[in-house]
């Protein structure tokens, strides 16, 4: 299949409250552009675990729709049974991935919406309300991504070299992205950027997804191995680094795809500003620092069998953390839908998160209680 593929939606809901979630299967990109239909709870959980849908905002949206999928077919009068089933659904979805806080935020929001309707005599009306809530989460993410782009674009100048890691574009969100929203908006403003994309090992989200997305928009893109970033910086090809985030602690310590911390260290060594772009529902104000962020460890075969072929000796020990934590002191600024946080301190974060806005804050995050 040609690389010049049409723009597709990361995820969408089809039908009424007994409908289904349709996902772009990101494990097939960039070779094939295939959709996966999720009409039962296990298929949604599997899609999240297997990275068919990935990126903190997109995982949160998928989880919200996953609640609706898990409640399909409930009898109209069985309100008590619906709430019993809801607990099972939320627990299963919460166990699918541990690091992306948007997953837990979305599940808590869906549960709170259901609790507000507990007195209802109709399970169907509750399920309709939950679908509306999931659709609202989806729509709000589109708005947040656009706002992140608007706040971040002024940080980039025409002709600038920008380095990014993993995928924080439309494939990781509802439409426009977080880190890539900054780049897309700058390009729309007439700025021409030179974007360097880390492969992002071991699953190559940068090579498979980010390079594909940037190519779809005609942006000057150069793919590099993760280990080449230092040389590219030393040669003066990069003037700023922008990444996304999966969870940000109250002090600004940020969890993102493995390799991000190393980039931040390199950026500091070369006096290059390092920015993180993320919506405020990625902040976990219940955690004081990144030391408390749970780090997912994934299957060793992702390292020993790159895309199906053995690339390591049999029985070799493997450590495969999916994320690392970048200390706030290495981050020049956090780009959010409410504005830029710089310097990155506990006080500046608290002040911005406390601002009233039409876009909901994360509330209690990090767990589903």
* Among 57, 5, 66, 68, CA closest to 175: 57
Count H helices and E strands in the chain, helices first. Answer: 12, 16
| Catalytic option among 226, 246, 284, 324 | 246
Would you call the peptide bond into 343 cis, given omega within 30 degrees of 0 as the criterion? yes
Write b or e for each residue in 144-158: b if 16 or more Cβ atoms lie within 10 A of its Cβ, otherwise e. Answer: bbbbbbbbbbebbee
Pairing of strands 254-257, 333-336: unpaired
Specify burial of residue 168 (Cβ count, 10 A radius: 0-12, 13-18, 19+).
buried
If one counts every other C-beta atom within 10 angstroms of the C-beta of residue 233, the result is 22
Q: What is the residue whose two structure tokens read 């959980």?
A: 45
Cis-peptide into 127, omega within 30 deg: no
Catalytic residue status for 158? no
Q: Per the structure block, which two tokens stand in for 102?
A: 């948007």
CA separation for the pair 62, 56 (Å, rounded): 10
- How many angstroms separate the CA atoms of 102 and 155, rounded? 26
Q: How far apart are CA 256 and CA 53, in angstroms?
A: 16
* Residue with tokens 């309300």, as numbered in its chain: 129
Distance CA 67, CA 82 (A): 11
Q: Which residues are catalytic?
A: 246
């Amino acid at each position: 299949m040609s690389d010049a593929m049409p723009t597709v939606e990361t995820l969408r809901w089809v039908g009424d409250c007994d409908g289904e979630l349709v996902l772009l299967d990101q494990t097939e990109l960039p070779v094939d552009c295939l959709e996966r239909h999720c009409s039962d709870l296990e298929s949604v959980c599997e899609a999240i675990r297997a990275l068919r849908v990935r990126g903190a905002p997109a995982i949160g949206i998928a989880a919200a729709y996953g609640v609706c999928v898990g409640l399909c077919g409930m009898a109209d009068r069985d309100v008590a049974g619906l709430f019993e089933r809801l607990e099972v659904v939320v627990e299963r979805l919460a166990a699918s991935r541990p690091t992306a806080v948007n997953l837990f935020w979305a599940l808590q929001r869906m549960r709170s919406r259901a609790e507000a309707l507990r007195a209802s005599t109709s399970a169907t009306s509750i399920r309709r309300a939950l679908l509306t809530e999931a659709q609202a989460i989806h729509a709000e993410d589109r708005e947040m991504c656009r706002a992140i782009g608007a706040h971040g674009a002024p940080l980039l100048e025409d002709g600038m070299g920008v380095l990014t890691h993993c995928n924080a574009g439309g494939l990781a969100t509802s439409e426009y992205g977080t880190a890539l929203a900054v780049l897309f908006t700058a390009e729309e403003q007439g700025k021409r950027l030179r974007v360097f994309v880390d492969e992002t090992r071991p699953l190559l989200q940068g090579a498979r997804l980010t390079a594909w997305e940037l190519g779809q928009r005609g942006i000057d893109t150069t793919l590099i191995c993760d280990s080449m970033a230092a040389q590219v910086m030393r040669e003066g090809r990069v003037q700023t680094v922008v990444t996304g985030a999966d969870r940000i602690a109250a002090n600004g310590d940020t969890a993102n795809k493995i390799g991000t911390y190393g980039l931040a260290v390199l950026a500091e060594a070369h006096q290059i500003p390092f920015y993180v772009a993320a919506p405020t529902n990625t902040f976990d104000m219940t955690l004081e620092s990144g030391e408390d962020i749970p780090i997912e460890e994934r299957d060793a075969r992702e390292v020993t069998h790159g895309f199906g072929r053995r690339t390591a000796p049999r029985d070799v020990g493997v450590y495969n953390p999916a994320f690392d934590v970048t200390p706030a002191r290495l981050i020049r600024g956090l780009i959010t839908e409410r504005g830029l946080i710089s310097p990155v301190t506990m006080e500046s974060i608290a002040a911005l998160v406390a601002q009233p806005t039409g876009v909901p804050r994360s509330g209690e995050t990090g767990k589903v209680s």
